[in-house]
Chains A and B, each alone.
Chain A
Amino acid sequence: MAEQVAASRYVAREASLRRRLLTPEGLDLGVVLADAGQRASAFMIDAVFIILALIALTLFVIFGLFGVVGVSRSTNGLSALAIIWLIGWFVLRNGYFIGFELRGRAATPGKRISGLRVIARDGGRLTADAVIARNLMREIEVFLPLSFLSARAAEGSADRWLNLLGFAWAAVFLFFPLFNKDRLRVGDLLAGTWVIRARPQTLAADLGATSDGAPPAYRFTDAQLDIYGEFELQTLERVLRENHQEALDTVTAAIVQRIGWAEPVADPRAFLAAFYRAQRPQLERRMLFGRRKADKTVR
């Protein structure tokens, strides 16, 4: 029962993140929005990269130019270093996100690692002004709350409440994505963009294909194959592909009980594979006749 609730909740959540993206050919590609956790982790990865780059920049300025190149200790050399650092940090802070998202993949390294990308909400081209707009808003989403936090740490109790209020106000922008169904940041809202999942997939082997012409070791009756629906079939597909012994055993036990399989099952994986191969054509035939069976509760 709990499993079923969890499963239906999972399905509902996935469905609630699905959006239409109609190509000019008239096909809905059905993009899936990134959830708040994926967005946050992508941002954390980017933040680490930015901090590393800042450290590298600082070290470069201190040692690279100072020591190796041999800039003398004159004010001339020092000021050159200061300029490089100041401008470098400015470009890094504002240019990192914009620069990467303007490229073909429309994703920062953090987003790429998390399998995300930015797209225009209307499905058209992602324009430069949209990318700039969505990233300049980070100023109030990230840096403003940070500045309130650091100010609070630095100053005495007189301004503490003021800073706390300031932080609470800034937190509205910070937690904005949690309060709308499209998981839009303020920046996404103002730029007309979405962040979607776009992890490249590899073509997996077809589990439904019989390897040879040999008759199947397990035979199922039509009544047995009529019990489960498409959701269960695709869950079974996932279990088979992931291939964890424990999951295979559990699912085998559940199916054996449900369809009333009398004989002993020696090899759970072979049994499940046979069941999948028998079940899928059955459901696909129903599909062709327009009588789809979404899950086992459908008659």
Chain B
Amino acid sequence: MSSELAQGTARFRAEREADWLRLEKIVDRVERRSVRALSDDDLFALPLLYRATLSSLSVARATSLDRALLDYLEALSLRAYFIVYGTRTDLLRRIGQFFATDWPAAVRGLWRETLASLALLVSGMLAGYLLVASDPSWFAAIMGPDEAVVRGPTASTAALQRILVHTGNQDGLSVFASFLFTHNAQVSLLAFALGFAFGVPTALLIAMNGCIAGALMQVYVAHGIGGQLGGWLAIHGTTELFSMVLAGAAGFHIGRRVAFPGESSRLAAAAEAGRTAATVMVGVVVMLSVAALLEGFGRQLITDSFARYAIGGFALLVWLLFFYIPREARRG
């Protein structure tokens, strides 16, 4: 009786082994290259072999104690499962979909957090402005002592103005732009990630950035060249500050959903919030690279205040239209 049974399991394996090995070969090739590397025959055979292997696994689990065989079938089924059910659209299509629907939809979904983030930034600006207005020594505290020497309250009007219209040599500009881009992008990624600590550090980061802008503005307004500074900031600032607001909003969204998951479980709420916020963050990096181009090239080439305001205002309008114009929801 025992030997009959042994023959049974041996036959079970002998009858199916060829299918498993063929599936393994196909899976190997797909993992190493892509589904496109398969011949038509293999492509059609893949789902059939996958199901055959699943059924082998289920029979083996009920009848065999050969651990090596069970492990092999489990690992093979799992690898094939991800190929059969993990189909993904091609990259270009995905990028198109990101710009056409995913990104604006994610931004629209975060409108409450966006308003909160904006309010924080604006109150940070006000605080910075009022603090420096009441006591100029605040400037050094907010911006750091080195900055205070260059463009602090004690600097001359002429020196301050020179920073705004300085065109410099054309070569240093793009380095400056790429440095600013990587720096700003890293800071906003940090603002997003810190949202996980219930959004508190994110709020501090946003308010602090507002504070810096406010303090700078006060110095220039006090010297009577606030309008020029406005143009200097506006050309790229509308885009940059907007992306900062959105990064803060993404952080707050995570913090809010982790703290108050509502109907769903905390884990599910966190996962959902994380994915929406991540989509926004990819967009934030895109916006920051646009801002860096405006800052590094646009600002240095265009020194007229009016033109700077016009470009900044136009950029803001484009972003607002892009994000908030209602559009038909994508089906499927």
Query: Closest CB-CB distance, B190 to chain A, in whole Å?
Result: 5
User: In the complex, what distance in Å separates the CA atom of A191 from the CA atom of B82?
Assistant: 18
B179 lies within 8 A of chain A by Cβ: yes
Instruction: Tell whether, in the assembled complex, residue A133 and residue B274 are in contact, meaning their CB atoms are under 8 Å apart.
Output: yes
B194 lies within 8 A of chain A by Cβ: yes
Identify which of A21-29, A58-66, A250-258, A267-275 touches chain B. Answer: A21-29
Instruction: Tell whether, in the assembled complex, residue A86 and residue B278 are in contact, meaning their CB atoms are under 8 Å apart.
Output: no
Label chain A's interface by main secondary structure: helix
Instruction: Tell whether, in the assembled complex, residue B85 and residue A24 are in contact, meaning their CB atoms are under 8 Å apart.
Output: yes
17 sampled A-B residue pairs with Cβ under 8 A: A21-B78, A27-B58, A87-B182, A94-B189, A136-B281, A137-B196, A139-B193, A140-B190, A144-B190, A190-B273, A192-B271, A198-B78, A206-B10, A208-B9, A208-B66, A234-B67, A281-B2
Chain A residue, CB-CB nearest to B296? A83
Instruction: Tell whether, in the assembled complex, residue B1 and residue A86 are in contact, meaning their CB atoms are under 8 Å apart.
Output: no
Instruction: Tell whether, in the assembled complex, residue B275 and residue A237 are in contact, meaning their CB atoms are under 8 Å apart.
Output: no
Most buried by A among B21, B69, B194: B69
User: In the complex, what distance in Å separates the CA atom of A285 from the CA atom of B88?
Assistant: 44
Given contacts A201-B71, A204-B72, A281 and B5 within 8 Å (CB-CB):
yes
User: In the complex, what distance in Å separates the CA atom of A204 from the CA atom of B196?
Assistant: 46
Given contacts A29-B77, A287-B63, A87 and B279 within 8 Å (CB-CB):
no
User: In the complex, what distance in Å separates the CA atom of A62 from the CA atom of B210?
Assistant: 38
A76 lies within 8 A of chain B by Cβ: yes
From the candidates B68, B72, B194, name the one contacting A241 in the complex (CB within 8 A). Answer: B68
Label chain B's interface by main secondary structure: helix
B216 lies within 8 A of chain A by Cβ: no
B282 lies within 8 A of chain A by Cβ: yes
Given contacts A23-B81, A27-B58, A86-B178, A75 and B169 within 8 Å (CB-CB):
yes
Instruction: Tell whether, in the assembled complex, residue A76 and residue B171 are in contact, meaning their CB atoms are under 8 Å apart.
Output: yes
The size of the chain A interface, using a CB distance under 8 A, is 77
User: In the complex, what distance in Å separates the CA atom of A290 from the CA atom of B90?
Assistant: 48
Chain A residue, CB-CB nearest to B169? A75
Instruction: Tell whether, in the assembled complex, residue A90 and residue B185 are in contact, meaning their CB atoms are under 8 Å apart.
Output: yes
From the candidates B68, B85, B276, name the one contacting A125 in the complex (CB within 8 A). Answer: B85
Instruction: Tell whether, in the assembled complex, residue A283 and residue B75 are in contact, meaning their CB atoms are under 8 Å apart.
Output: no
User: In the complex, what distance in Å separates the CA atom of A199 from the CA atom of B186?
Assistant: 34
User: In the complex, what distance in Å separates the CA atom of A58 from the CA atom of B121?
Assistant: 37
From the candidates A126, A129, A208, A280, name the one contacting B279 in the complex (CB within 8 A). Answer: A129
Task: Please give, as numbers and ranges, the residues of chain A lying within 8 Å of B286 by CB-CB distance.
Answer: none
Chain B residue, CB-CB nearest to A230? B65
Task: Please give, as numbers and ranges, the residues of chain B lying within 8 Å of A233 by CB-CB distance.
Answer: 65
From the candidates A23, A133, A139, name the one contacting B275 in the complex (CB within 8 A). Answer: A133
From the candidates A89, A136, A189, A202, name the one contacting B72 in the complex (CB within 8 A). Answer: A202
From the candidates B82, B194, B196, B276, name the one contacting A119 in the complex (CB within 8 A). Answer: B82
Query: Closest CB-CB distance, A182 to chain B, in whole Å?
Result: 9
Query: Closest CB-CB distance, B268 to chain A, in whole Å?
Result: 8
Task: Please give, as numbers and ranges, the residues of chain A lying within 8 Å of B2 by CB-CB distance.
Answer: 278, 281-282, 285
Instruction: Tell whether, in the assembled complex, residue B6 and residue A140 are in contact, meaning their CB atoms are under 8 Å apart.
Output: no
Most buried by B among A106, A199, A203, A277: A203
Instruction: Tell whether, in the assembled complex, residue B270 and residue A190 are in contact, meaning their CB atoms are under 8 Å apart.
Output: yes
User: In the complex, what distance in Å separates the CA atom of A74 from the CA atom of B3?
Assistant: 84
13 further A-B pairs in the complex, CB-CB below 8 A; given A23-B77, A30-B74: A27-B77, A104-B82, A133-B274, A140-B197, A190-B270, A191-B271, A192-B271, A201-B72, A208-B10, A284-B64, A285-B2, A285-B5, A288-B63
Given contacts A104-B30, A233-B65, A287-B63, A192 and B194 within 8 Å (CB-CB):
no
User: In the complex, what distance in Å separates the CA atom of A252 from the CA atom of B332?
Assistant: 62
Chain B residue, CB-CB nearest to A176? B196
A73 lies within 8 A of chain B by Cβ: no
Task: Please give, as numbers and ranges, the residues of chain B lying within 8 Å of A126 by CB-CB distance.
Answer: 86
User: In the complex, what distance in Å separates the CA atom of A79 from the CA atom of B117?
Assistant: 36
Query: Closest CB-CB distance, B71 to chain A, in whole Å?
Result: 6
B147 lies within 8 A of chain A by Cβ: no
